Amino acid sequence: MIDSFRNIARRYFGQALLSRVGAASLPALVGGSGAAFAQSGKGLTPGENIYQSIGIRPLINARGTFTIVSGSLMLPEVREAMSAASRHYVHIDEMMNAIGVRLGELTGAEFGMVTSGCSAAIAHATAACVAGGNPDLHIRIPNLTGFAKDEVIIPKHSRNVYDAAVRGVGVRVVEVSTVQELEMALGPRAAMIYIYAGPNAETGPLAFETLARIAKQKNVPVMVDAAAELLDVPNVHLQRGATLVGYSGGKVLRGPQAAGILIGRKDLIQAAWMHSAPHHGYGRSMKVGKEEAMGMLMAVEMWMKRDHKAEMKQFLSWLGNIDARLKRVDGVTTNLREAQGLSNHTPYLDIRWDAAKLGISRDELIKTLFTTEPRITVASGANGITIAAYMLSPGDDKIIGDRVAAVLGEKRPPRATSVPQTPTTDLSGRWDVKLEFNSGSTVHILHIKQDKTRLVGTHQGDFVARDLGGVIDGNQVRFSSAYNESHGDSLTYRFSGKAEGDTMSGELDMGEYFTAKWTATRHTYRG
């Protein structure tokens, strides 16, 4: 059981935090006592304490609309719509056609559909652009052998972890950085262009307007991933030349977390619906129930009725209350930032302090807020924490202000700056590393160069090499490598452990992919 707690806790806090607590403290880190997790006893009990009934501690979300902390809270009207929808049978195709018409009326688009999230909207859009409404092609996805169109163009500025939804259809991604590269890529096999909405898409040689204009000349659809954006009407992306736009339902729209919408050109969205459940084939796994579909439509209906100016005024008021409370704590500084742009449109409160002076680091504060009562999740900043207002509920501001002020204001002795111990060995050279996952294992290669206590080098994974960096403190080693989103994927490996002569071993924190054990042996070259 402790091993399970350890894996869950490392996912959220990282090895650095866990090294400060013992195994007996791990159940508290993941949100309850060992007894609560091991034997929830009475079983699931609907009501205010539904999560507590199976040993889970709910939290106050001051971090944002991240899926890992369950996005946003559904509006009351959305919950009512889902409850009403659950009481009747309906023909799913008829329902989705009616929803498509209504989404078009609400958003000003030709048509719309509800998906199981924005990632699913991207996948269905890609399938529609590759196969159209042809079922002979549909049932072949993701094997695109013989397809006339099997390429999707992605500007380098739009590569990100979510373009996996594009790649999952089986297309070949063509990455472009210049107008010339774009024009060369827009050949007969180009099925779609994918754009990740945000500041990076608005500047440079492939700024949105330039890309959309060239795509229109070549008659290639443009899909915009606007998951975390405001749903503005008339739609800014469609107005500027996009063909299809996807939004998350469980973020600012405050609809079902497992839902999203795709709006835009009617024929392509009708084809996208054919590639979705209840129809068989590739998209069957991305099913949307009648409850989520009607709840998502209600979220869009309510978006058009909500008083967004009044909401923003309320958010600023909440952050102002937290700010006023923290100003009474010596050594703490704050900065209130108003909402900007379309994506993650919320005001923020940045909170900073001298960690050595107050005797508590940023990571320790985050851990304390997450593992004690009241349980609060916040965003990590460069030199402190950040409070996002959008997901707060009435009264959360007082709870957050009081709790953060209490923790930061607690009397602690100042901390002396730690000095790394002299390394017990030189790690320079090649190391063969065995990684043992929850299921399966693999061997990676490290090339390390040591300069006193500093470690630099490369980490060769199963397919990709990336830079590594870290330190050796006595016989304790800590180093990490990252494979960033510019490739469309994101992997961060954080190694920690002990070095003894020609061996190293310890634990590997892989972030959202949990943990693994690692053992490294200095490579022996044979002549």
- Which two tokens mark 141? 């996805």
Residue of 341, 400, 408 whose CA lies nearest to 61: 400
For helices 92-107 and 266-274, the axis angle rounded to 10 degrees is: 150
d(CA 402, CA 318): 13
Instruction: Using the Cα atoms of residue 448, residue 451, residue 455 and residue 457 in order, give the sign of their dihedral.
Output: negative
Q: Which neighbouring-strand residues pair with 52?
A: none
Q: Specify the domain boundaries for CATH 3.40.640.10 within the chain.
A: 76-305
Give the pLDDT of residue 30.
Answer: 39
Place of tokens 């269905």: 124
Torsion sign (Cα): 514, 519, 521, 522: positive
Q: Two tokens at 33?
A: 């006592």
> Which residue in 392, 454, 287 sits closest to 60, CA to CA?
392
Give whole-number Cα distances, 273 to 81, 121, 162, 168, 388, in Å: 22, 10, 20, 17, 35
In the block, tokens 């090649």 appear at 430
Please report, in tens digits, the pLDDT of each residue of the chain (527 residues total).
334 434 444 444 443 333 333 333 333 343 333 333 334 457 999 999 999 999 999 999 999 999 999 999 999 999 999 999 999 999 999 999 999 999 999 999 999 999 999 999 999 999 999 999 999 999 999 999 999 999 999 999 999 999 999 999 999 999 999 999 999 999 999 999 999 999 999 999 999 999 999 999 999 999 999 999 999 999 999 999 999 999 999 999 999 999 999 999 999 999 999 999 999 999 999 999 999 999 999 999 999 999 999 999 999 999 999 999 999 999 999 999 999 988 889 999 999 999 999 999 999 999 999 999 999 999 998 889 999 999 999 999 999 999 999 999 999 988 777 788 999 999 999 999 999 999 999 999 999 999 999 999 999 999 999 999 999 999 999 999 998 877 788 899 999 999 999 999 999 999 999 999 999 999 998 87
State the CB neighbour count (10 A cutoff) for residue 100: 24
If you search the block for the tokens 């294992």, which residue do you land on? 441
Q: Got the DSSP string for 253-290?
A: T---TT-EEEEE-HHHHHHHHHTSTTS-SGGGGS---H
- Cβ-proximal residues to 521 (8 Å cutoff; 6+ apart), any chain: 431, 432, 502, 503
Say if CB 330 and CB 354 are below 8 A apart. Answer: no
pLDDT of residue 41: 59
Are 390 and 229 in contact, with CB atoms under 8 Å apart? no
Question: CATH 3.90.1150.180 region(s) of the chain?
Answer: 312-416
Label residue 196 exposed, middle or buried (CB < 10 Å: 0-12, 13-18, 19+): buried
Q: What is the CATH number of domain 429-522?
A: 2.40.128.120
Quote the strand ranges of 338-440, DSSP E: 348-353, 376-380, 384-388, 429-436
Fold of 76-305: Aspartate Aminotransferase; domain 2 (3.40.640)
Supply the DSSP string of 381-399, one letter for each residue: -SSEEEEE-TT--TTHHHH
Q: What is the pLDDT of residue 32?
A: 35
Tell me the Cα Rg of the chain. 26
Give, as one character, the DSSP assignment of residue 109: S
Which architecture characterizes domain 312-416 according to CATH?
Alpha-Beta Complex (3.90)
